[in-house]
Chains A and B, each alone.
Chain A
Amino acid sequence: QSALTQPASVSGSPGQSITISCTGTSSDVGGYNYVSWYQQHPGEAPKLMIYDVSNRPSGVSNRFSGSKSANTASLTISGLQAEDEADYYCSSYTTSNTLVFGTGTQVTVL
């Protein structure tokens, strides 16, 4: 199972919006609405930010939103803040009953 494709890095200024893409195939992203997004700060465990493509867990800021079109999912962070600087990973369920993660995106707040 190949990793989902994400841009290596994305940057933005405070207050701006950024979008991270996550491209897979019809066997994973395109086949199910089980796409999740995780935020990971250095030295910490990942934290769930979005599940089922576009749902936010309780306690996650509404500045984070998710969507999907065909084989590509996206995470948008609006009103970018310094605390959003972290690595972000997407994940998808697959036809093999496994999970696959994205390659990861480093978000930098300028």
Chain B
Amino acid sequence: QVQLVESGGGVVQPGRSLRLSCAASGFTFSTYGMHWVRQAPGKGLEWVAVISYDGGNKYYADSVKGRFTISRDNSKNTLYLQMNSLRTEDTAVYYCAKDWKVGANVEIDYWGQGTLVTVSS
């Protein structure tokens, strides 16, 4: 079955960087778009970024554009999120998520359990 396991979260000071990883299994990783979605404590879901199945297309939420970079390694079945210039408002649980449609980036079907990123001095 589909498994998405995030790692790399933790406590970081404002202005610093952090890289999240998501190990995928149970499906053909190289044929699906992948997303990052975050949820601040007690708040709703916020879409962060998406990368196409081959890494050729990447799109970001305005709130992270220019600071976050999504990437993938299809040989390792792993998704990444490089987060630079972190702000206190980036504090959230970050979810890795799989698109349901082969070759597209339109809707999420499976989610990981999330990793908590806390930005605090």
Chain A residues in contact with chain B, CB under 8 A?
1, 3, 32, 34, 36, 38, 40, 45-48, 51-52, 57, 87, 89, 91, 93, 96-104
Chain B residues in contact with chain A, CB under 8 A?
35, 37, 44-47, 50, 57, 59-62, 95, 100, 105-114
| Nearest chain B residue, comparing its CB with the CB of A3 | B44
Q: Is the interface of B mostly helix, strand, loop or mixed?
A: strand
Of the listed residues A38, A45, A93, the one surrounded by the most CB atoms of chain B closer than 10 A to its CB is: A45
Of B59, B60, B109, B111, the residue contacting A51 (CB under 8 A) is B109
B44 contacts A45, CB within 8 Å?
Answer: no
Of B59, B109, B113, the residue contacting A98 (CB under 8 A) is B59
B44 contacts A103, CB within 8 Å?
Answer: yes
6 shortest interchain CB distances as A-B pairs: A104-B44, A45-B111, A99-B47, A34-B106, A101-B45, A93-B106
Bound together, the chains give a CA A103 to CA B121 distance in angstroms of 29
Bound together, the chains give a CA A52 to CA B99 distance in angstroms of 12
Of the listed residues A51, A99, A103, A104, the one surrounded by the most CB atoms of chain B closer than 10 A to its CB is: A99
Known: A93-B106, A93-B107. 5 other contacts (CB 8 A): A38-B108, A45-B113, A51-B100, A97-B57, A99-B50
A89 contacts B50, CB within 8 Å?
Answer: no
Bound together, the chains give a CA A52 to CA B109 distance in angstroms of 11
B108 contacts A91, CB within 8 Å?
Answer: yes
| Nearest chain A residue, comparing its CB with the CB of B63 | A1
A48 contacts B109, CB within 8 Å?
Answer: yes
User: Given A3-B44, A45-B114, A103-B44, do A97 and B109 touch, yes or no (CB 8 Å)?
Assistant: no
A46 contacts B107, CB within 8 Å?
Answer: no
| Nearest chain A residue, comparing its CB with the CB of B47 | A99
A101 contacts B59, CB within 8 Å?
Answer: no
| Nearest chain B residue, comparing its CB with the CB of A45 | B111
Chain A residues whose C-beta falls within 8 Å of the C-beta of B62 in the assembled complex? 1
A45 contacts B95, CB within 8 Å?
Answer: yes
Bound together, the chains give a CA A32 to CA B104 distance in angstroms of 14
B44 contacts A97, CB within 8 Å?
Answer: no
Bound together, the chains give a CA A56 to CA B79 distance in angstroms of 27
* Chain A to chain B contacts (Cβ below 8 Å), 23 pairs: A1-B61, A34-B106, A34-B107, A38-B45, A45-B95, A45-B111, A45-B112, A45-B113, A46-B111, A51-B100, A87-B44, A89-B45, A91-B108, A96-B59, A97-B50, A97-B57, A98-B60, A99-B47, A99-B50, A100-B47, A101-B37, A101-B47, A103-B44
